[in-house]
Amino acid sequence: MPIIECKNLTMAYGSHIALRDLSFAIEAGDYLCIVGENGSGKSTLIKGLLGLQQPKEGKIILNGITHREIGYLPQQSMAQKDFPASVKEVVLSGCLSYKHRTPFYSADDKIKAAAALEKMGISDLEKRSFRALSGGQRQRVLMARALCAADRMLLLDEPAAALDPQASAELYALIGDLNKKEKMTIIMVSHDLDAAGKADKILHMANGCAYFGSTEQYYHSDVCHHLTGGGHHHHA
């Protein structure tokens, strides 16, 4: 049974349709990459999957997982640029997803946060200030927070946007490891076709579904050639 299934999903902001009639399904352990032009509805789909925004029509069916068991890495925002917070505070806050009544972090939460930092290879940053980190370090910290919140599925919205090629390659390698070694289901939005090559499945969006299927077949499809050869360059 697929862990997430979208059936004829349509999502809108008021009367503006952001994505139309989208259907796809992914299995536990899949690595799905969502590609598509700016404004094609990728972030909107992510919001739907997280339960932040309700579908206008159609359904999103979760099997054996709840919205809050999905870890999330938001599309980068400048809102936290000057925020005074230590790395530890940020990562620990991920643990709140499973704490319902207790007000303070337990020893277990702290162990979990340390483990998440370890997995992201940034244990040495624990005491550092979030606002003093580089873009790549910040993304890793936010990934560690997502790992505290969820250990089975991650949703990543353009994790490597604004990173230099080296930092983004490292980040994609970490994401690949989470999928292969930790058996996490990964859903990632990316403009980077090299990164998409590491995924098992591709969903190409164009206010709906232009392609959904395996990565190998994608590279032989027309939609892919359109994206790479049609003069559409989307660099953030």
Closest CB 146 distance from Mg ion, rounded Å: 17
Q: For binding to ligand ATP (CB under 6 A), which residues are involved?
A: 13, 16, 18, 36, 38-44, 75
Q: Which two tokens stand for residue 7?
A: 């059936």
Q: Which two tokens stand for residue 84?
A: 């005074």
The span from the CA of 208 to the CA of 231, in Å, is 21
Which 8-state DSSP code applies to residue 163? -
Binding residues among 73-132 for other proteins as defined by CB under 8 A = 74, 79-80, 82-86, 89-90, 92-94, 96-97, 103-105, 129, 131-132
Nearest residue to 187 (alpha-carbon basis) of 62, 93, 88: 62
Coil, helix or strand at residue 62:
strand
- By the 8 A CB rule, do 48 and 55 touch? yes
Closest CB 113 distance from other proteins, rounded Å: 12
Closest CB 132 distance from other proteins, rounded Å: 7
Q: Exposed, middle or buried, 169 (CB in 10 Å: 0-12/13-18/19+)?
A: middle
Closest CB 62 distance from ligand ATP, rounded Å: 20
Closest CB 27 distance from other proteins, rounded Å: 22
- By the 8 A CB rule, do 23 and 209 touch? yes
150 binds other proteins (CB under 8 A): yes
Site string for other proteins, 22-61 (x = CB under 8 A): ----------------------------xxx---------
Contacts with other proteins by CB under 8 A lie at 50-52, 67-68, 70-72, 74, 79-80, 82-86, 89-90, 92-94, 96-97, 103-105, 129, 131-132, 145, 149-150
